[in-house]
Amino acid sequence: MGLLTVLKKLKQKEKELRILLLGLDNAGKTTILKKFNGEDISTISPTLGFNIQTLLYKDYKLNIWDVGGQKTLRSYWRNYYEENDAVIWVIDSSDIRRIDDCKEELKKLLDEEKFAGASFLVFANKQDLDGALTSEQIAKYMDLESLSTHHWEIKSCSAVTGQGLEEGIEWVVNDIISRCFILD
């Protein structure tokens, strides 16, 4: 009967991945998203609220939720925590002044139960700037090494030049696949 179509639908849905893109304001979240999607990045306004973008990567449909990082918006982040396959945390590697802020927000995020089992990628963005910390320095400062509750990875990237973006997304997709679709 209609069971076949239902199954087909389910199967299709499995190929859809939901990814949450978070980070402090001015980290470059929207720029990463638009650059990856091949859109113009010169007229991006700071995000007031959120953007949803659907990307096709390999066979997978990535629904990426890009939520603004302003202080006034951070209390709303929790509304987006449900059912994520992966979380991408974006860091402005040159923003040394707020790195402790960043660490704190990240810690709050990692303590969240709703992310249990989600893959976790940190983008050390803005590597094109002279004052940028390397991904190793950030991993060390943020204590990522001691993180055992999630599959995690840190990738350095530059949203302006596009360098490192694909590697990051590739890791996310592969990690989700290896976790969820072993039975396939």
Neighbours of 86 (CB within 10 A): 25
Of 55, 110, 147, 160, the one binding other proteins by CB under 8 A: 160
Stretch that binds other proteins, among 4-12, 80-88, 147-155, 168-176 (CB under 8 A): 4-12
Of 13, 72, 79, 111, the one binding other proteins by CB under 8 A: 72
Query: Least distance (Å) from other proteins to the CB of residue 116?
Result: 30
How many residues touch other proteins under the rule CB under 8 A: the total is 42
3-class secondary-structure state, position 60: strand
- Give how far Cα 110 sits from Cα of 57, 116, 160, 182, Å: 26, 9, 28, 25
Kindly give the residue spans of alpha helices, DSSP state H, lying in 51-98.
71-74
Our CB check for other proteins shows the closer of 137 and 174 to be 137
- Judge contact between 127 and 158, C-beta under 8 A: yes
Q: Does 130 bind other proteins (CB under 8 A)?
A: yes
Stretch that binds other proteins, among 41-49, 112-120, 143-151, 169-177 (CB under 8 A): 41-49
Query: Any idea which residue has 């999607």 for tokens?
Result: 37
Neighbours of 16 (CB within 10 A): 12
Of 15, 52, 107, 161, the one binding other proteins by CB under 8 A: 161
Specify whether 70 is catalytic: yes
Our CB check for other proteins shows the closer of 111 and 130 to be 130
CA–CA separation, 156 vs 134, rounded Å?
7
Structure tokens at 172: 């996310």
Query: Least distance (Å) from other proteins to the CB of residue 114?
Result: 25
∠ Cα 121 158 137 (to 5°): 60
Chain residues that interact with other proteins, rule: CB under 8 A: 1-2, 4-5, 8, 25-26, 35, 38, 40-46, 48, 70-73, 94-97, 99-100, 126-134, 137, 141, 160-163
Residues labelled catalytic: 70
